[in-house]
Amino acid sequence: MKRMTVPQIQARKGKDPIVMLTAYTARMAQLLDRHCDMLLVGDSLGQVIYGLPSTLPVTLEMMIAHGAAVVRGSYHSVVVVDMPFGSYEASPEDAFRAASRVLAETGAAAVKLEGGEAMAPTVDFLSSRGIPVVGHIGLTPQAVNALGGYGARGRTNAEHAKIIADARAIADAGAFSMVVEGVLEPLAQAVTAEVSCPVIGIGASAKCDGQVLVIDDMLGMFERTARFVKRYDDLATRIEDAATRYSEEVRARTFPGVEQTYQPKD
């Protein structure tokens, strides 16, 4: 299997749904790679891997370290790395410097950045200089302080119109795809119909051009997740169960057994 390309993703608009999951480590990337079209090294790693309270403290160095690991673990999917808060907003030039480091130091094919109309000049600056950009609109977690929480977006007419305008702006600026997160379903469908690039939904609509979920969420690693997360497994319970059995066997001195110990040859 050859690695998929950005133009191949673009060409999927309105066709076969695009399958995307987050990955933060090489081994998880290996396991997910053949099932996905794109792997996202999300700045959700702040909470998922590092136990941070939000994505805001995530650094470019963290994104580069995990981005490189995911590229090493994959050979099929387009790897997209999130631009962390503070690395791209101040100017298109700042964004280019940070994004070019991401591509050069990880081997990923594309970056993702949050924001609509205000970020359109930056999307244009990057994409016209050889850096493929995925947009991210609707519920944008890096703006949690401005939005006042992680609630669904697009409940008022003004918010609905603003998010449509955001989608149009970053699509016109050259984003090759965009994530729309945490919006009312009719708005997700309107965004998907509005732009000519593939729209990847999360908390959006099955009618988007693709879907993404945070891998640890869909595997059931957390007790509480957003309403839009579907759990495909209950790994937290399974891990605790394994740790329980291990601790019992250590305390009972039944582990290690004969199979796990080296005996002298006679």
Sequence-ordered list of residues with C-beta below 8 angstroms from that of 31, at least 6 positions apart, any chain: none
117 among annotated binding-site residues: no
Provide Rg for the chain, Cα atoms.
Answer: 20
The beta strand positions in the chain, using DSSP E, are 18-22, 38-41, 78-82, 110-114, 133-138, 177-181, 199-202, 210-213
The answer to the question of whether 205 is labelled as a binding residue is: no
Give the tokens for residue 173.
């600026």
Q: Is 216 in the site for Na ion (CB under 5 A)?
A: no
Contact positions with ligand KIV (CB under 6 A) in 183-212: 202, 212
Check whether 230 is labelled as a binding-site residue: no
- Asked if 43 touches Na ion (CB under 5 A), the answer is yes
Residue 155 burial (CB count, 10 A): 12
Select 58 or 187, whichever has its Cβ closest to Na ion. 58
User: What are 172's two structure tokens?
Assistant: 């016109």
194 is an annotated ligand-binding site residue: no
State which of residues 4, 18, 21, 22 lies at the interface with ligand KIV (CB under 6 A). 22
Residues within window 62-81 making contact with ligand KIV, judged by CB under 6 A: none
Kindly state the tokens that stand for 10: 């673009």
According to CB under 6 A, which one of 214, 218, 219, 221 is a site residue for ligand KIV?
214
For the CB of residue 92, give the shortest distance to ligand KIV in the complex, in Å.
21
How far apart, in whole angstroms, are the C-alpha atoms of residue 113 and residue 136? 6
Which token pair is 200? 């990847």
Extract the annotated binding site: 43-44, 82, 112, 114
What residues line the site for ligand KIV (CB under 6 A)? 22, 40, 42-44, 82, 136, 179, 181, 202, 212, 214
Extract the annotated binding site for Mg(2+): 43, 82, 114
